[in-house]
Structure 1
Amino acid sequence: MTRVEHDLLGNRDVPDHAYYGIHTLRALENFPITGVALSSHADLVTALVTIKEAAALANSELGLIGDREADAIVRACREIRGGALREHFVVDVVQGGAGTSTNMNANEVIANRALELLGHERGRYEHLHPLEHVNRSQSTNDVYPTAIKTGLHQGLSRLTDAMSALAEAFSDKSAEFADILKVGRTQLQDAVPMTLGQEVATYAVMLLEDVERLKEAAALITEINLGGTAIGTGVNAHPRYADRVREHLAAILGIEVCTATDLIEATQDVGAFVQLSGVLKRAAVKLSKICNDLRLLSSGPRAGFGELNLPPVQAGSSIMPGKVNPVIPEVVNQIAFRVIGNDLVVTMAAEGGQLQLNAFEPIIAHSLFETVELLTRGCTVLRERCVVGITANVDRLAESVTNSIGIATALNPHIGYTAASRLAADALAQGRTVSDLALEQGLISAEHLASILSPHNLVRAGAPASASEMAGGHL
């Protein structure tokens, strides 16, 4: 069964069951690009219908549409915000037209549901129209970027929560591993001792730094251009519309949004998206570095570092019995690669804007929403399926400290750089420990050596007492 709808290009048969209309139908035909429907970005759909609800309330207050029509639009929007009719948001996320197809998809679904609420059949637009009523006082060019910003704001809240929870899991592991000595490394070579707790604590700090950076970036996307309509001049909008719609939008969202002081600039400038994308990339790079470390530290179990044990979550090979791979850090690495690629897409799309509008906001939106969702899921999976179950291979760690050439660095202030270098070279050549050779060669007393190599002195700032202060000590 179909119904006939009309646009400037002519008539088309629209499936009767569909809440979308002719504009969406044409977009389905024109943009079979990614196979990813608008409904896959739930935050964007929610943001779109929230804007339509705020617009209907503002238009009604200003006498631009009737109260009965406004009430039906508001009721339809609230149903969709609650999860209804999401399957009818069908246009491809990547499209030409600067997001017009997305805006029209929302207008048509809302209008047809509102028609039903008024007791009419879908497609009877003489009673309530997608453009005359749902889209009143609006343009895609102010609705779409505002929807991207407010939708991303909601997603960023979940992402920062996930990152904070992951940081907390690392902090818990840091406390658990606080007294376990290990060898620190620079350039994959032995450096100086530290605790495993110190090593893991840095991951929490790295993540929390970027939680703060993301909150700063989120503040930049609370500036909106609603009321600017086509290019920011406000054509076809009531003089008080921008203030009214902003007030309603803020009330519905529960966040403070502000109208840009220069709506023409705000309509064409996507700098806030570039800024946000860069911070998301920063977080992804750090997250990937952490996962690189986890894979290195857990490598083995016999022929690698073997210092950490990651929880086994699945068999690792179809041919090698008993092999278990670090699949959770590996998948997070791949998320980071995707995020880094998305950042380049956002950069190029932002640069490609021309004159009063950036036509490439659909790919910016898709890239940013995908990035936020991937990072949120990645942080959650890394915490739940990996970090909380990490254990330390204590014997392996202790052995590495005992045999480390890096111990010579701790002796440097007490026996001198030249003697310490010679000691390190001799230990490496002879397969001996630095401690044994230092005592054997009479470079330091046993009591003084024990003080220098105590866990407290090895891993914290400040040197132990000098040789002359050690009773019975000698150089």
Structure 2
Amino acid sequence: MHEPSNVRIEHDAFGPIEIPADRYWGAQTQRALGVFEIGEERFPSSLIRAFGLQKLAAARANRRLGALDRILAAAIEAAAREVWEGRFDDHFPLRVWQTGSGTQTNMNANEVIANRANESLGQPLGSRRPIHPNDHVNCSQSSNDSFPTVMHLCTGLELRDRLLPALAWLRDTLAAKAAEFDDVVKIGRTHLMDAVPMTVGQAFGAFASQIGHGIERIEATAPRLYRLAQGGTAVGSGLNAPVGFDQAFCDEVVALSGLPVVPNPCKFEGMGAHDALIEVSGSLNVLAASLIKIANDIRLLGSGPRCGLGELVIPDDGLSSSIMPGKRNPTIAEALVQAAFQVMGNHATISAAGASGTFELNVAKPVLIHNLLQSIRLLADGSYVFAGKLVRDLAVDRDRLAENVSKALLLATVLNPILGYDCVATITRKAMAEGLTPRAAAIALGVMTGEQYDRIVDPAAMTTPKTPEDR
């Protein structure tokens, strides 16, 4: 129980309720706190702040269309802007696990903004006048169109401002390594076994290409992501919203945030289904797979340093083993792989949540956006750390690479057009069986001289395709 001096009594349609005196939320939020006592997970600040943007744009649109008094609208706009700026993050206490429409969090936003707006007009918290959380802050809106709109807004902002810059830096860092290692010859591997020569730069070029494709996949979701359900109100028909509210709202969001949003021409689809968000998650799932492949390749190529492949030199992160002094592990790569596993699991949850639309309303919105925002954050943070604390300072062990190339049996593959497959197979079998180099085996078999072998078998030249005239 709160001390009387630490609470205020607020009234709504369900009667009086005690609320901590210094909290800006209202009766519905307080009641929800006592109902949804499941887990500890709360929405990230990105979603809370996107609600501030959504309520600000709605108030401006309502004022433009004459649905909201100018003085009241100005107070709501100022309060909503403060929420957008993050000044009221601590006043959103609800857990993710709530009504599937996200109604409680929408009400939380309405109450915080109404209380802050009334305070700016000289009224005490909980007065609900002259600004009412439902009649004014929620004017022309429903939770059913506002929450999905916020889902799209915060996803768009997090992709634009957090994930895509991180991926661009990782792509460019990998590309820089590709250029740095362009002249370093290594043995390629297929089926985990030795193959033919390539350069370390070519391997890193492939990594950079994977991340570049990941960026393209995310950007390709934009036409669907930026269609907003706002204006559909309860079921998609627009009941209680003025004509043109959807377009006015989108105009305000564009002006405020720069996101290229447009009204969803079928708001029934935008509220009953969340296919666009599943599509975004799908692009993140592919990205997670790419990052796992890249991180695992790098840590395997750096394995050792003395008893593994040891071709890459992974930078020291200052961490070590609890029992083996001085042992260095590829910790950053391992952390990134684990984050990517979580993203893959999140995609399964998002897919199930996205399939949970029943008739005109999807009723798994909170868990869907909770997982999607976590995926974006994990991939962004993981990419920044991976690029800045591992990839950027990677080095190669040129001596180890040169030794590996000199011993490679399958350098002889370049002789196929000259000697034929079966003859080259005989060379490699003899070399393997007797511990010879393929050069020595070819000479011992009498199929060519050492001079002929050296003229044809050039590992560096084998890393790029040749025209018939070059052969």
TM-score scaled by length of structure 2: 0.96
Residue 462 (structure 1) shift: 1.3
Q: Is the 8 A contact 2:247 2:262 kept in 1?
A: no
1:241-390 maps to which residues of 2 (within 5 A)?
A: 241-390=245-394
Q: Distance in 2 between matches of 1:265 and 1:285?
A: 30
Q: 1:103 aligns with which of 101, 106, 109?
A: 106
Instruction: Report percent identity of matched pairs.
Output: 39
Q: 1:125 aligns with which of 125, 128, 146?
A: 128
Deviations 1:61-91 (A, max 9, x none): 2222211111011111122222211111221
Write the letter of the residue equivalent to 1:121: P
Q: Is the 8 A contact 2:102 2:365 kept in 1?
A: yes
Q: Specify the alignment match of 2:464 in structure 1.
A: 460
Q: 1:86 aligns with which of 81, 86, 89?
A: 89
Q: Distance in 1 between matches of 2:251 and 2:457?
A: 65
Residue 439 (structure 1) shift: 2.8
Q: Specify the alignment match of 1:12 in structure 2.
A: 17
Q: Is the 8 A contact 2:198 2:463 kept in 1?
A: yes
Q: Specify the alignment match of 1:174 in structure 2.
A: 178
Instruction: Quote the RMSD (CA, aligned, Å).
Output: 1.5
Say if 1:219 and 1:445 are closer, same or farther in 2 by CA, change over 3 A.
farther
Q: Is the 8 A contact 2:188 2:198 kept in 1?
A: yes
Q: Specify the alignment match of 2:3 in structure 1.
A: none
Write the letter of the residue equivalent to 1:325: N
Residue 338 (structure 1) shift: 0.2
Write the letter of the residue equivalent to 2:278: V
Structure 2 residue 32 is the aligned partner of structure 1 residue 27? yes
Write the letter of the residue equivalent to 1:293: D
State the SS of the aligned residue for 1:191.
Answer: strand
Residue 463 (structure 1) shift: 6.0
Deviations 1:350-403 (A, max 9, x none): 112211101101011001000000000000000111001100011111111111
Write the letter of the residue equivalent to 1:429: A
Write the letter of the residue equivalent to 2:47: L
Q: Distance in 1 between matches of 2:270 and 2:139?
A: 20
Write the letter of the residue equivalent to 2:85: G
Q: Distance in 2 between matches of 1:443 and 1:34?
A: 73
Deviations 1:194-222 (A, max 9, x none): 01111111100010011011001133210
Structure 2 residue 72 is the aligned partner of structure 1 residue 69? yes
Q: Specify the alignment match of 2:46 in structure 1.
A: 43
Q: Distance in 2 between matches of 1:451 and 1:443?
A: 14
Residue 148 (structure 1) shift: 0.7
State the SS of the aligned residue for 2:399.
Answer: helix
Write the letter of the residue equivalent to 1:321: P
Say if 1:11 and 1:97 are closer, same or farther in 2 by CA, change over 3 A.
farther
Q: Specify the alignment match of 1:54 in structure 2.
A: 57
Q: Is the 8 A contact 2:300 2:309 kept in 1?
A: yes
Q: Distance in 2 between matches of 1:450 and 1:28?
A: 78
Q: Which moved more, 1:20-29 or 1:278-287?
A: 20-29
Q: Is the 8 A contact 2:185 2:460 kept in 1?
A: no
Q: Is the 8 A contact 1:110 1:134 kept in 2?
A: yes
Q: Which moved more, 1:417-426 or 1:249-258?
A: 249-258
Q: Distance in 1 between matches of 2:218 and 2:469?
A: 45
Deviations 1:140-165 (A, max 9, x none): 11111111111111111121111111
Residue 7 (structure 1) shift: 3.2
Q: Distance in 2 between matches of 1:434 and 1:218?
A: 54
Residue 260 (structure 1) shift: 1.4
Deviations 1:302-361 (A, max 9, x none): 111111011111333111112111000000000110000000001111112211101101
Q: Is the 8 A contact 1:18 1:88 kept in 2?
A: yes
Q: Which moved more, 1:408-417 or 1:148-157?
A: 408-417
State the SS of the aligned residue for 2:8.
Answer: strand
Residue 102 (structure 1) shift: 1.1
Number of aligned residue pairs: give it.
465
Q: Which moved more, 1:4-13 or 1:384-393?
A: 4-13
Write the letter of the residue equivalent to 1:245: F
State the SS of the aligned residue for 2:156.
Answer: helix
Q: Is the 8 A contact 1:346 1:363 kept in 2?
A: yes
Q: Distance in 2 between matches of 1:322 and 1:337?
A: 29
Q: 2:406 aligns with which of 399, 402, 405?
A: 402
Which residues of structure 1 form unaligned runs of 5+? 468-475
Q: Distance in 2 between matches of 1:97 and 1:359?
A: 4
Write the letter of the residue equivalent to 1:150: L
1:156-235 maps to which residues of 2 (within 5 A)?
A: 156-157=159-160, 158-235=162-239
Q: Is the 8 A contact 1:214 1:280 kept in 2?
A: yes
Say if 1:77 and 1:337 are closer, same or farther in 2 by CA, change over 3 A.
same
Deviations 1:156-199 (A, max 9, x none): 11211111110111111111111111100001011111011111
Q: Is the 8 A contact 2:100 2:365 kept in 1?
A: no
State the SS of the aligned residue for 2:357.
Answer: coil
Q: Is the 8 A contact 2:197 2:460 kept in 1?
A: no
Residue 265 (structure 1) shift: 2.2
Q: Distance in 2 between matches of 1:444 and 1:463?
A: 23
Q: Is the 8 A contact 1:452 1:464 kept in 2?
A: no
Say if 1:97 and 1:4 are closer, same or farther in 2 by CA, change over 3 A.
farther
Structure 2 residue 156 is the aligned partner of structure 1 residue 153? yes
Q: Which moved more, 1:201-210 or 1:1-10?
A: 1-10
Q: Distance in 2 between matches of 1:415 and 1:61?
A: 82
Q: Is the 8 A contact 1:329 1:382 kept in 2?
A: yes
